[in-house]
Structure 1
Amino acid sequence: MTETTEAKLSPQVKNALTALIVGGIAAILDSTMVTLAIHTLAVKLHSTADTIQWVTTGFLLAMAVAIPVTGWAERRWGGKRAWMTALVLFMLASVLCAAAWNDAGLIGFRALQGFSAGLIFPLMQTLAVRAAGGRVSSRLMAAVSLPIALGPILGPVIGGVILNWLSWRWLFLVNVPVIAAGLLLAWRFLPADRPGSSAGRGRLDWIGLVLLAPALTGILLGLSQLSEHGGIGHAGVLVPLSAGVVLLGGFIAWASRPGEREPIVDVRLLRVRSLGSASAVLFTAGAAMYAGMFLLPLYYQQLRGDSVLDAGLLMIPQGVGALASRFLIGRVVDRFGARAVTIAGFLLAAVATVPFALAGPDTSLWWLGAVLLVRGLGIGAVLIPPMSIAYQDIQPAGIPHATMNSRIVQQVGASFGTAIVAVVLQSLLGQGATGAFQGAFWWAAGIAVAAVVPAVVLPAGKPTGRGPAAPRSRHVLTTHPAQPK
């Protein structure tokens, strides 16, 4: 596959990508803006830090619950209608968040926001692959992951401006015009894909959902409580984490049983090397990326004493680096292959994290800005190659399941990485803030180095930019025969 062939996207695909990017960026911006506003929300709503933290935690838990539902929703209503429904739900939840009268109301409405975001993110990826006819390339994945790159650039800045000069309610109202534009573009450019009359298209795997949804909730809840309770031995961590792991094991056993029914998430597809290895890399990529995203704003605000707006502005170089990688990654993967680029990206991110492990409250901002630019390049480079490889041997009917598998492991990986550095930071604070942040950043760098291990098993070749060939062996799996092709 030459660079020229790889680069070609039809006007129809470009229009569909534009609609998906505009619709999806609101959810990314919202999550980055609200993270900065936790202290402000606690003050304005007369809440406590422990309570208001559920504005973020509830969002993440609800998002994890929604991810497994996306495949069924696409089969039941069609991708376009499921996408537009998710956008309407997110817009409604945003308005309700803006109108919240107390912390309990805001937490509840944020959970609704999180549920709709959990539909948006997998659908965005699935519909992009559908629009391209299953011809997945690194450039396609770079385009559909553009909101992930823009979020760290625009979110902290917009959030900082709102918190400095406007009411906190505008953190949510700003989503409305963006979603409205996304709905208009989706109506205009996404192809109509009403589901066929297959008898099984409306069936929801209730047993699988009842097992998987609380499993993910328990695991993510347990990880989120690690730093607060100081370790895994506390009941607030051990009980939900253990219950989540047990339920996840039950779900895997249920979903792996042979039969004609289609599980809510087909974990059997993880046997395919392309998806299995890519999912492992996306787990570690989520851990490496979010460990740094958790620590960096705290470093600027708590150790250096910068304002929320200043911290947002100081984070821009990392977002610029991640954005720049989107324009470079296609040609680099074409030349060196997905495995080599992913390994190099992790190592680059690790090296660029080390200066923060040596930094103090007076370290040059110019130096740290340059380091963040490099870190952004590395982090941006580790997501797109495995996302491109993931679909390489997956049949069209399995695309939603491949997306859900990869999104779930990335979400759990993000929580895992955040939990590790949060525990380290909390445990070292008694030795002084500078030493605590330095120790936590060393762990963040170590996570990026450890991520090289699963990257080694990625296929060495280049993403083909085409759909899978007909199955040649038992290792190329399809999903339930009744699923629309």
Structure 2
Amino acid sequence: MPARHWGVLAVLCGAIFLEGIDVAMLNVALPSIRADLGLSTGALSGVVSAYVLGYGGFMLLGGRAADLLGRRRMFLLWLTVFLLFSGLGGFAEEGWVLLVARFVTGVAAAFLTPAGLSLITTTFPEGPLRNRALLVYAGTAAGGFALGLVIGGLLAAVGWRWVFFAPVLMSAALLLAAIPLLKEPPAAGRPAARSFDLAGAATVTGAMMLLVYGVVRLEHPGDGLPLTVAAFAGGLALLAAFAAIERRSAAPLVRMGIFRAGALVRTNLMAALLTASFFGFQFLLTLYLQELRGWSAIETGLALLAAAADVVLAPTLTPWLVNRYGNARVVLGGLLSGLLAYALFLGVGLDWAYAAMLPSMLLIGLMFAFVYGPLTIVATDGIAEHEQGLAGGLINTSFQFGAALGLSAVTAVNVAALGGADTPEAGLAALRTALAVPVTATLVAAVIAVIGLRAAARPRAGQPLPVP
């Protein structure tokens, strides 16, 4: 690999690491923010939801904007926006300022992430070199979240504002490195910017924001059910309008034909289920360690570090396995590892030593190492260069939507199972019930992986199907 390519990969991995560490650090610092600014529980939840709304709502638009308006241009512009509004959050003295800062930061990440992914897929030629670059990228993303839990705990102990200022410093360093290193891929085949599908952009963004908002509201099943139903109904209606607009548009934002690829649809479904299972489990584990066991935020972050084994495995072991067995089999093996990890945790008790939890943590690290990167490879493999941003937007939308859905589902099940009881035993029983969510999500993902393997084993005559 040329030295410049190593530099490009380092910058793009730094950006996805920044996105992961930013989210994780804030989650750990929320109690300190509430104490200092006097925020209500609803306002504190809104700080998290505002980022999710911006990220999930604008991801598809961000992916297509990279294709149409230039990947390097979008990356540099939105990295700058990320820097500015992360800094705004650090200076916040009132809750509404934090809400605005987190929403715009989420929007910036929605444009930044698919632009970075498509820069990798257009810089590195399809094949082993691109696969290795994507696996390093995926391992860095997961490592950012795992390390962010620990770093966030340390920074919050000094002052919660550093949780916002640290990404500013990192963004500035990345921006200085990116300007000379990143080159705009050739514009050949790129649709003219004047043909930008504004109607499609408005409807799909509105649809995704309403759907994500509906998912977030599932965390409070008894609170304003009509509003939750209205959010889902409005989102689905806008999604239907978007599909109708795209079929008639001369230059659609999303070409509907891209969904005819069974492998692409299966990959995005598995991506959503993967993050739904992990983020749901991580939330339950945090409740268990901090509320039922009395562990500190730093101790909880350190406990999750074992799950970051994919930082080492993704760029080393996974490429060898993919070359030898193919993406589909590696993905299936990873999902089965995750299924075993969650199943082992079903027997959790109030007196468990960390040694009893460690097998689950390590197996989750295997799952991410074997699933996250290969899914990213399949999601962008065989896609035309002028649609790489769209493919990146789709897979990242699936990851983000799945994370929001998993968090909301385990919260709703946990609250319902708890039923107002306030004893450690009741809390443990509710947690065990909610663990059914990550177990079920991973099981469904494994079934989809098996279907993909069977489809790949029975290609149509003269027209082999992609893997998985």
TM-score, structure 2 normalization = 0.91
Selected match of 1:241 from 221, 226, 232: 232
Alpha-carbon contact 2:342-2:439 (below 8 Å) kept: yes
Partner of 1:391: 380
Higher deviation after alignment, 398-407 or 103-112? 398-407
Count of residues in Structure 1 that have an aligned counterpart in Structure 2: 455
Residues in 2 aligned to 1:301 and 1:309: alpha-carbon distance in whole angstroms: 10
Residue identity opposite 2:291 in structure 1: Q
Deviations 1:404-461 (A, max 9, x none): 2222222222222222211111111136101011111233122111111221243679
Residue identity opposite 1:287 in structure 2: A
Partner of 2:430: 436
Residues in 2 aligned to 1:322 and 1:20: alpha-carbon distance in whole angstroms: 15
* Local SS of the residue matching 2:17: helix
Partner of 1:157: 150
Residues in 1 aligned to 2:150 and 2:440: alpha-carbon distance in whole angstroms: 29
Partner of 2:449: 455
Partner of 1:381: 370
In the alignment, is residue 20 of structure 1 matched against residue 15 of structure 2? no
Q: How does 1:219-238 map to 2 (within 5 A)?
A: 219-230=211-222, 234-238=225-229
With over 3 angstroms needed to count, the CA separation of the structure-2 counterparts of 1:363 and 1:98, relative to structure 1, is: same
- Deviation, 1:78, is 2.1
Long gaps (5+) in structure 2: 457-461
In the alignment, is residue 79 of structure 1 matched against residue 48 of structure 2? no
Q: How does 1:52-91 map to 2 (within 5 A)?
A: 52-91=44-83
The share of aligned pairs that are identical, in percent, is 24
- Deviation, 1:330, is 0.8
- Deviation, 1:254, is 2.2
With over 3 angstroms needed to count, the CA separation of the structure-2 counterparts of 1:321 and 1:408, relative to structure 1, is: closer
Residues in 2 aligned to 1:348 and 1:198: alpha-carbon distance in whole angstroms: 41
Selected match of 2:335 from 336, 346, 349: 346
Residues in 2 aligned to 1:340 and 1:72: alpha-carbon distance in whole angstroms: 30
- Deviation, 1:195, is 4.5
Selected match of 2:35 from 17, 39, 43: 43
Alpha-carbon contact 1:78-1:194 (below 8 Å) kept: no
- Deviation, 1:358, is 1.1
Alpha-carbon contact 1:339-1:461 (below 8 Å) kept: no
- Deviation, 1:77, is 4.1
With over 3 angstroms needed to count, the CA separation of the structure-2 counterparts of 1:253 and 1:326, relative to structure 1, is: farther
Residues in 2 aligned to 1:209 and 1:197: alpha-carbon distance in whole angstroms: 20
With over 3 angstroms needed to count, the CA separation of the structure-2 counterparts of 1:393 and 1:329, relative to structure 1, is: same
Partner of 1:410: 399
Residues in 2 aligned to 1:246 and 1:323: alpha-carbon distance in whole angstroms: 44
With over 3 angstroms needed to count, the CA separation of the structure-2 counterparts of 1:323 and 1:241, relative to structure 1, is: farther
Residue identity opposite 2:281 in structure 1: G
With over 3 angstroms needed to count, the CA separation of the structure-2 counterparts of 1:77 and 1:395, relative to structure 1, is: closer
With over 3 angstroms needed to count, the CA separation of the structure-2 counterparts of 1:200 and 1:188, relative to structure 1, is: closer
Residue identity opposite 1:361 in structure 2: L
Residues in 2 aligned to 1:57 and 1:98: alpha-carbon distance in whole angstroms: 18
Structure with the bigger percentage of helix: 2
- Deviation, 1:132, is 0.7
In the alignment, is residue 401 of structure 1 matched against residue 390 of structure 2? yes
Partner of 1:218: 210
Deviations 1:363-421 (A, max 9, x none): 01122123201211113311122211223332212211211222222222222222221
Residue identity opposite 2:435 in structure 1: F
* Local SS of the residue matching 1:306: coil
Higher deviation after alignment, 72-81 or 272-281? 72-81
Residue identity opposite 1:252 in structure 2: A
Long gaps (5+) in structure 1: 1-8, 463-471, 477-485
Residue identity opposite 1:86 in structure 2: W
Partner of 1:109: 101
**What RMSD, in angstroms, separates the aligned Cα atoms of the two structures?**
2.5
Q: How does 1:33-432 map to 2 (within 5 A)?
A: 33-135=25-127, 137-164=130-157, 166-193=158-185, 195=187, 200-230=192-222, 234-255=225-246, 257=247, 261-321=250-310, 323-430=312-419, 432=426
With over 3 angstroms needed to count, the CA separation of the structure-2 counterparts of 1:203 and 1:411, relative to structure 1, is: same
With over 3 angstroms needed to count, the CA separation of the structure-2 counterparts of 1:267 and 1:284, relative to structure 1, is: farther
Residue identity opposite 1:240 in structure 2: A
Alpha-carbon contact 1:322-1:379 (below 8 Å) kept: no
Alpha-carbon contact 2:61-2:205 (below 8 Å) kept: no
Partner of 2:459: none
Deviations 1:39-94 (A, max 9, x none): 22111111111111111100010112321232443345421121111111100011
* Local SS of the residue matching 1:456: helix
Residue identity opposite 2:441 in structure 1: I
Alpha-carbon contact 1:30-1:175 (below 8 Å) kept: yes
Residues in 1 aligned to 2:446 and 2:256: alpha-carbon distance in whole angstroms: 24
With over 3 angstroms needed to count, the CA separation of the structure-2 counterparts of 1:91 and 1:183, relative to structure 1, is: same
Alpha-carbon contact 1:274-1:391 (below 8 Å) kept: no
Residues in 2 aligned to 1:320 and 1:386: alpha-carbon distance in whole angstroms: 18
